[in-house]
Amino acid sequence: MQNYFELFDLETSFFIDESALKRSYQLEISRFHPDNFASKSEPEKLQALQNTSLLNSAYRALKTPLSRATYLLKLEGIDAFDEKDTAMEKGFLLSQIELRDELEAIEENKNNLGLDDFIERVDSFIEEKIELISEAYNLSSDQQLIKRHVRELKFFDQLYKEANALMDEWF
Predicted TM-score (pTM) of this structure: 0.89
Beta strands in the chain (DSSP E): none
58 and 103 inside one domain: no
Domain CATH code at residue 16:
1.10.287.110
Reported as a single tens digit per residue, the pLDDT across 84-121 is: 888 889 999 999 999 999 999 999 999 999 999 999 99
Reported as a single tens digit per residue, the pLDDT across 24-56 is: 999 999 999 888 998 999 999 999 999 999 999
Instruction: Count CA atoms closer than 13 A to 158's CA, side-chain side.
Output: 9
In a domain, 136, yes or no: yes
**Rounded to 10 degrees, what is the CA torsion of 52, 54, 57, 63?**
-80
Domain with 105, as residue range(s), is 90-170
Cβ atoms of 142 and 94 closer than 8 Å: no
